Amino acid sequence: MATEATEIRGVGHSVKRKEDDRFIRGKGTYVDDVKLPGMLHMAILRSPFAHARIRSIDTSKAGALPGVIAVVTGELMAQHKLAWMPTISADTQAVLATDKVRFQGQEVAAVVAEDPYIAKDALELIEVDYEPLEAVVTPQRALEAGAPVIRDDKEDQKDNHIFHWESGDKEATDKAFAQADLTVSLDTFYPRSHPAPLETCGCVADLNPATGQATIWMTSQAPHAIRTVFALVAGLPEENIRIISPDIGGGFGNKVPVYPGYVVATAASLLLGRPVKWIEERSENLISTGFARDFYMKGELALKRDGTMLGLRASLLADEGAFHADAQPSKLKVGLFHIVTGSYDFPAAHVVADGAYTNKAPGGVAYRCSFRVTEASYLIERLVQNAAYELGMDPADLRLKNFIKPDQFPYRSATGFVYDSGDYHRAAKLAMEKLGYDELRKEQERARDEGKLLGVGMASFTEIVGAGPSADYDILGLKMNDGAELRIHPTGKAILKLSVQTQGQGHETTFAQIVAEELGIQPEDVKVMHGDTDNTPYGLGTYASRSTPVSGAATAMVSRKVREKATKIAAHLLEVAEEDVQFEKGRFFVKGAPDRAKTIQDVAFAAYTNFPAGTEAGLEGVHYYDPPNLTFPFGTYLVAVEVDPDTGEWNVRRVVAVDDCGVRINPMIVEGQLHGGLTEGFGIAKMQLITFDEAGNCIGSNFMDYLLPTAWETPRFELGETVTPSPHHPIGAKGVGESATVGSPAAFVNAVIDALAHLGVRNIDMPLTSSKVWEAIQQSSAGAPAG
C-alpha cells in the first residue's frame, strides 16, 4: 500500500467539531427528545414554604382527574424504602417529604399522567396542610443558640452545624503573623449562584417489568456513578441498569448530583410498568437543583514591609442548604478550597471551615469549577490586590514579587498540594504587555485628576483539576479513575469509548485527536462514544475539568497499548525483529530503511487477516487511568473598567486573558471554552444571584430575576497563551474548561475596586450591581466625587 505523508490532524490542530453536524441541523438528541411508546409524564409538586411541618396530604381530587395514572407521595415512597436517599456528601436527602419541608421548592408529591398538561393540572388539586415554621436563611442564624433545628430527622443532630474542617499548619501560621510588619484582611461573601445550563434536568425512566431491565435516559454528567448509586439505593441489580446520557445541553456542575425527580420517575416506572418522562421547568431547576458558592470568607495576609508574603489565614462558613449534598471527593469537606494559597509562595497557611444547614436548596456543586477552587481563587486574588493598596505597591508588582518561581516546581504548597508545573511570571507579563498595563496605569492617573473612575483588575489564578489520585480521591468510596476503550477495525477505522460525558466540550473531536496523535488514524476515522453505561468503560464522569486530565490520559495510554501490539504485527509484515520497527505518524517502518513501511491501516487489516502465530486476533485495548497527581492550569486575567461616578454603572473596556493549560489538544475548542468561562465569570461578578427573603422565598427563580449575560452586555475577550506542559500527563495537557470561571470573577471585581481604591473602597460583595457600586462610592471617603 502507498504510504503518502498526509498530515495527521492530532494534538494541536483546530479540527472542526464532529458533533456539530447534528446540532446545526436540529438533530441532536436531548433527553426531552426521547419519546417511547406508552410513555407517561410526571410533574412534581413543590413546597411553597422554606420550613414547615406537613400535617396532611390529600391526593384524592388529583387522583380522580381523568388522565392521571398515579399520585406519588413520600408515604408511598417510604413503603418502598425510597423516601430518603443518600447524598454525594454522605448525608441523606428527602426524595419526597414525609415529615417536614426544609426549603422552598422541595419535592412533596408527584403526579404521573398521560399528558404533561394534565400532570400539571393535577398538581393544583393536591391539598397539603402545612404548619409553617421559622425559616433559617443564613448560616450565621443557623449556628445561633436557639435556632430551629432543621434536620430533626437525624437522631444525633441537635443543632445546624454540619462539619468543622482544617488544613495547613496553625502554629507556623500564627508565628508568621507574629513576625509580620503588616497584616491585611478581607471579609467577603461569595453569594449563591446557579449554573443554569440552558437545558434543565430531566429523565425518561423505562423499567421493563417482563425483563427487569431498567433503561434511564438522564441529563447526567456522570452516568456510571449514577448507575452504581441507583443500584445501591434502589436495590436494582447493576447489570440490569442502563443509564444513557444523550446529548446534554450544558451542565457546568448542575448535572452531577442525583435529584429526587430521577428517583421518583424511576420508582413510578417500576410501579406502573410504563416509561415515565420528567423534565424540569426552569424555575424548578433554579430553586431546587445544585446551586453554587454561598461561602462567607475571611482572609488575612501577613506581609513584610517590602511586600514579601509570610503567611495566610483563611476561614469560611459554608451555607449548605437543607441537606449536605455537595459534590466533592469524600475525604474533603470544602472540596479543594485549601488551594487558597494560589500562585504565591507562602511559607505558612492555615484554613478553617465550617458548614451549616439552612432552609435553602441543597446541592452545593462546583459550578464550572474544581471543587471550590473558585471561591479560594477569588479570596486570595482579592486579598492580594487589597494588600497592594495598603503597601502602596502596584498590585502587579506585589504578585510578581511573590509568585512561585519556575525553578520551584514541583512545588509543595503550605496546605500540602504538589503543583506540577508553572511559569506564573511569564503568563502575567504577557497579559500586562497585551493590555498595555503601564500605559493604562498612567491613563488612570490622568482620569482621576479629571474626576473619572478607571480601574484595572488583575487575577493570577492557579487552578487544581483532574481529580484524582486514588490514594486521596474517591466519591462514596469509588476511586476517581476513568477509562478509555479503543477498538481498531480491519479497515483501520476506530471506535473509542469513554467513561466521561461531554456537555458541549467537544469530546467527540478532541479525544479522536488524541488517538490521531498516538496512532496516526485521522480524527474523522475515530468514532467517539460516551454516555451509555452498557457500552462504555467505567468512570466517574465529567466535572472538575477532569475529562482531559483523566480520561484523556487513559485515551493516550490505551492508544499506546494498541500501538505495542500493532508494532508486533508490523514487524511480522515487514519480516524484521520487533525492535527494528519504528513508528511515526501512522507509519511503522524499518529503522534505517524508512521506505520499508506499513501504515496503521495495513497493520489493522493484518490484525484480523494475517497476524503472527501465537498472537490473538484483533487490535484493541482498554485502560483505566489513575492520575499520579492533579494538574494545575494557571493564567493571568486583566480587566479594565470605567465606572460612572454618578450612577455606579460600570462598563468593561478590555479583558485580556492569558491561559496556560499545558498542551492544547484543539486550540479552537480551548478558546471557545475560555470565552464561555469568562462570560460566566462576568455574569457572576455582575448579575447572577440566587438570594432569599427573610421567609426563605427564593428570589431569582426564573430568568427574569436571575440575570444571565446576553450578547449585548458580554464583553469582548482578548486571549493569549503560554504552554507549560504537565510533566505527569501522557500528552502534557492540564484541562481548561473551568479556568476562566475560576479566575475571572476576581479580575472583574478587582477592576471595579481598583477604580474606587483611592476613595478607600476595599470591598463590594458580588454581584456588583450599579446600585451597590453607587452605594460604595457614596459611603467612601469622597462621598461626593468630583464632577
Partner 1 sequence: MQITVTVNGTERTADVEPRLLLVHLIREVFGLTGTHVGCDTTNCGACTVRLDGTPVKSCTLFGVQADGRSVTTVEGLATNGQLHPIQAAFKEEHGLQCGFCTPGMMLTGAALLEKTTDPTEDDVRWAISGNLCRCTGYMNIVKAIQAAGRAMQDEKAPEPAGAAS
Q: Which residues are catalytic?
A: 221, 368-369, 738
Which residue's CB is nearer to partner 1, number 199 or number 381?
199
Q: Does 659 bind partner 1 (CB under 8 A)?
A: no
Answer for which of 20, 75, 99, 584 binds partner 1 (CB under 8 A) is: 20
Calculate the dihedral angle through the C-alpha atoms of 471, 477, 481, 484, rounding to the nearest 10 degrees: 150
Answer for which of 520, 676, 732, 743 binds partner 1 (CB under 8 A) is: 676
> Is residue 679 within 8 Å of residue 719, measured between CB atoms?
no
Size of the site for partner 1 (CB under 8 A): 55
* DSSP string across 372-426: THHHHHHHHHHHHHHHHHHHT--HHHHHHHHBPPGGG-SEE-TTS-EE----HHH
Answer for which of 196, 222, 398, 557 binds partner 1 (CB under 8 A) is: 196
Give the contacts of 408 (CB within 8 A, at least 6 positions apart). Answer: 345
> Is residue 570 within 8 Å of residue 588, measured between CB atoms?
yes
Which residues ranging from 690 to 709 are in contact with partner 1 (CB under 8 A)?
702-704, 708
Q: How far is the CB of 740 from partner 1 (least distance, A)?
A: 9
Q: Does 710 bind partner 1 (CB under 8 A)?
A: yes
Residue with cell 424548578: 284
User: Which range of residues in 198-206, 466-474, 612-620, 767-775 is near partner 1 by CB under 8 A?
Assistant: 198-206
Of the candidates 555, 655, 718, 690, the one whose C-alpha atom is nearest the C-alpha of residue 254 is: 690
Q: Does 653 bind partner 1 (CB under 8 A)?
A: no
User: Which range of residues in 182-190, 308-316, 329-337, 665-673 is near partner 1 by CB under 8 A?
Assistant: 665-673
Q: Does 283 bind partner 1 (CB under 8 A)?
A: yes
Q: Which helix (H) or strand (E) holds 615?
A: none
Number of Cβ atoms within 10 Å of the Cβ of 428 = 25
Which residue's CB is nearer to partner 1, number 281 or number 649?
281
Rounded to whole angstroms, the Cα distance separating 87 from 81 reads 15
CA 334 to chain CA centroid, nearest Å? 14
Which residue's CB is nearer to partner 1, number 17 or number 100?
17
Which residue's CB is nearer to partner 1, number 299 or number 677?
677
Which residue's CB is nearer to partner 1, number 22 or number 412?
22
Answer for which of 282, 298, 479, 493 binds partner 1 (CB under 8 A) is: 282
- Peptide linkage before 767 cis (omega within 30 of 0): yes
Which residues ranging from 208 to 267 are in contact with partner 1 (CB under 8 A)?
247-250, 252
Rounded to whole angstroms, the Cα distance separating 366 from 94 reads 22
Residue with cell 468503560: 537
Helices (H), ranges, 276-372 = 282-288
Q: Does 199 bind partner 1 (CB under 8 A)?
A: yes
For residues 688-703, one letter each, b for 16 or more C-beta atoms within 10 angstroms of the residue's C-beta and e for the rest, the string is bbbbbeeebbbebbee
> Is residue 89 within 8 Å of residue 165, measured between CB atoms?
no
Answer for which of 68, 303, 669, 777 binds partner 1 (CB under 8 A) is: 669
Q: How far is the CB of 23 from partner 1 (least distance, A)?
A: 3
Q: How far is the CB of 741 from partner 1 (least distance, A)?
A: 11
State phi, psi for 131 to the nearest 5 degrees: -115, 100
Q: How far is the CB of 508 from partner 1 (least distance, A)?
A: 12
Helices (H), ranges, 520-666 = 553-574, 600-609
Which residue's CB is nearer to partner 1, number 247 or number 602?
247
User: Which range of residues in 281-289, 292-300, 524-532, 638-646 is near partner 1 by CB under 8 A?
Assistant: 281-289
Q: Does 37 bind partner 1 (CB under 8 A)?
A: no
Q: How far is the CB of 247 from partner 1 (least distance, A)?
A: 7
Which residues on neighbouring strands pair with residue 718, listed in sequence order? 656
Which residue's CB is nearer to partner 1, number 24 or number 613?
24
Site string for partner 1, 142-181 (x = CB under 8 A): ----------------------------------------
β-bridge pairing 292-303 and 691-692: unpaired
Interface residues toward partner 1, by CB under 8 A: 16-17, 19-30, 32-33, 117, 196-200, 247-250, 252, 281-283, 503-506, 668-669, 671-672, 674-680, 702-704, 708, 710-712, 714, 716-717
